[in-house]
Amino acid sequence: MNRLSGKKVVITGAASGIGRAAATLMVAEGAQVLIADLDQDAAEKAAADIDGSGSGGRAIGMAVDVMNEEAVAAMIDRAVTEFGGIDVLLNHVGGSNPRKDLDLLRLDLDEWDRTLALNARSTVVASQLALPHMIAAGGGSIINTVSVGGLTGDTLQCAYGAAKAAVIRLTQYIATQYGKQGIRCNAVAPGAIMTPALRDNVPADVIADIRRHNALDMIGDPEDIGWAMVYLASDESRYMSGQTLVLDGGLTAQSPIAASRRVLLDR
């Protein structure tokens, strides 16, 4: 409790799933959190549902289109006005349209541009706008949500993977360029997480197959990623910067044929 007491936090894409879990945990740890989301009603409802009583934390909701620079600027200004500054920026919003973000030969180039803007350019813009406030206050923590898709190749969603790979490298550049001014920048790379988006859009047999390929016999919950974000937002991680935390149930730690070879043990 109170690991984030007094911290002023902005989280994009935070009305549901991992972003909401992170917001909930951070408020419980004493933070003031601005929940930004494209859906205004969802952002305001998430903020209203999060109870900060007893921790000193609180949440406010705001509609923000991270593809619109003026909207991102308004988000930063709102946080500074409401909270008195920004200590933590969590660039969580992202994704791509899996019906258009296919293999390279079938990739929709408009979707490529949109995906790079949504995932990478939005991270640049929000970080550019938040950094001066953090530097003026003596430091801060930028946390970028990436994906194991930015670390390995896959059969689909090459735009998404390329965008997240760009953010992984951007994370290191921000850490390097502003570390002497008290800025830490790290990334979190989730694997499959049981969010509403996964549950509603991925068939149960595919989810079961992902679980089979994880080293751990489970699919993670949003809170599993949220706790890592709490750590990166807190002073507990003060000596950590430029790193990517991979939380994927051990998926990328093992050989691609490990799941198939595992069955040999039972014969």
Active site positions, annotated: 160
56 near 109, Cβ under 8 Å? no
Radius of gyration in angstroms for the set of CA atoms belonging to the chain, rounded to a whole number: 18
Helix (H) or strand (E) holding 247: strand 244-247
Alpha carbon of residue 170 to chain centroid: 14
Pairwise CA distance, residues 139 & 88, whole Å: 9
84 near 8, Cβ under 8 Å? yes
Pairwise CA distance, residues 185 & 173, whole Å: 9
